Structure 1
Amino acid sequence: MDMTSARWRKSTYSGSNGGSCVEVADNLTGVVLVRDTKDRDGGTLTFTPTSWASFVGLAKESAPRG
């Protein structure tokens, strides 16, 4: 898969202390890519847009409310 045009952004759910951060690229057709900001060359998870939307929706439902 050619990921050269992926536009990575830090997840809004990532902490600002430098740990537990992920980046998401959702600008490619038919896929959403996810990687660890501490190990950008260590591998990338690939999701369908539908699967990613389901995951994000469940994560939002499960997030602690302040």
Structure 2
Amino acid sequence: MQDTGWFKSSYSGAGNDQCVEVRLIAGRGAGIRDSKQPQGDSLQVNPRAWAAFLGLVHRPPTR
């Protein structure tokens, strides 16, 4: 995997006014930022933390 550049989450709001952007970086994990503040800070997570996060959000809800 190479650097993907910033892209919006597929779960962003319908009006695109509440968007999260992600940037996947080979061997370094992911960056996460608010699309309304692209020049602002971003949260950087290592590959293990990103994989754990994806495992949680992709898990079907329990009933």
TM-score norm. by structure 2 comes to 0.73
Give the aligned residue type for 2:46: T
Per-residue CA shift, 1:3-30, capped at 9, x if unaligned?
A: xx66111111222312221111103432
Runs of 4+ in 1 over 6 A off after TM superposition: none
Q: How many residues align?
A: 59
Computed over aligned residues only, the root mean square deviation of the Cα atoms, in angstroms, reads 2.1
- Stretches of structure 2 lacking an aligned partner (at least 5 in a row): none
Identity %: 36
- Stretches of structure 1 lacking an aligned partner (at least 5 in a row): none
> Which structure shows the higher strand fraction?
2
- Which SS does the other structure have where 1:61 is aligned? coil
Whether the 8 Å CA contact 2:4–2:23 is kept in 1: the answer is yes
Tell me if 1:36 matches 2:43.
no
